[in-house]
Structures are given as C-alpha cells and as structure tokens.
Amino acid sequence: MVHLSSNTKEVIVQKVLLRDNNSTVKEIAVNHNIGYSTLQRWVKNYKDNTVRHHNQSNIYMNKLSTEDRFNHLIAVSSLNDTQISAYCRQHGIFKFQLNNWKESFMSTSQNHKNRENMSELKLLRAENKKLKQELNRKESALAEAAALLVLQKKTALIWGAKEED
C-alpha cells in the first residue's frame, strides 16, 4: 500500500473536479493506482471541507467574505469555460467552488423567498380565519333574526295581532 502526501491527494482530487467530459473518475483512479471508492471518498471529503488544506490559497478561499464570493460569481457570469478556467487560475480559485457558491447563494435566496412566502401565507391564513369567524357570527345573527320574525308571524296568526297600548 502506497501512502500519498496530502498535496498529492489534493492534486488528484482537483483532477477529478476539473476533469473534462471525456475522462471518468474510475479512469483517473486507475491511472493513479488508487481504489475507485477511495478516490470518491477523497472528493467527498474535499467538497465537504473536512480535509485540512495546508495551502495558503485554500485557507484564503475559506475566509472569503460573501461579498467577495459574489463579486467572483459576477465576474465569471458572462465568460465561457476556457475564460472561467483562466480567471480561476488567476485568482487561485476552483471552478467547483464557483458552482458551490452559486448554489449556496441560490439556496439562500430561495430560503429567504420561502420565509417571505410562509410569513405571507401565515398572515393570509389568520385573516381568512378572522373573516370566517365574522361570517359565522353574522350568519348566526341573521338566522336568529329570521327565526324571530317567523315566530312573530306565527304568534300573530295564532293569537291575533298584537294590540297597541
């Protein structure tokens, strides 16, 4: 069993993450004499940031502010793949990081929209409940008034018209 340094592992993982559509993870694993499942675990750990990166640029990437990440996303939004790769090399970031940042921004805005929709829905439900209660109260009052009128007419028929004092 060959032990690889963390830098070598990181380079292989980056090959997997930055590969073109012609190569597969299994081919990369075979080329480097690494088990397929091992390489998958390395990639998963790398994406989950559980692997400690000793490279200063990676430490820098983890400390980027949300504003800086957003600026990077805006900068690459109109670029093609080769231009994005050049931009990433120039700024010391990876293409998969851009994708992760984009997903996180999208999910954050989606969560914010969901929270707004839920609060609006809650207000509408409360208003709907209040209106239903008011409608039930008015229907009950109307039914009571109608019943009193019917009883008043029946009593007038049975005992005659009410005499004036």
Which of 10-19, 24-33, 148-157 tops mean pLDDT?
A: 148-157
CATH architecture, range 1-54? Orthogonal Bundle (1.10)
Domain ranges of the chain: 1-54, 56-160
pLDDT of residue 2: 64
Closest C-alpha to 95, from 108, 112, 113, 79: 79
83 vs 29: CA distance, rounded Å: 28
| pLDDT, tens digit (0-9, with 9 covering 90-100), for 59-75 | 445 567 888 888 888 99
pTM of the entire predicted model: 0.35
| pLDDT, tens digit (0-9, with 9 covering 90-100), for 31-63 | 888 889 988 898 888 877 644 443 444 444 556
146 vs 152: CA distance, rounded Å: 10
The whole-number average pLDDT for the span 5-28 is 80
Closest C-alpha to 104, from 80, 69, 136, 78: 69
Helix (H, G, I), strand (E, B) or coil at 59: helix
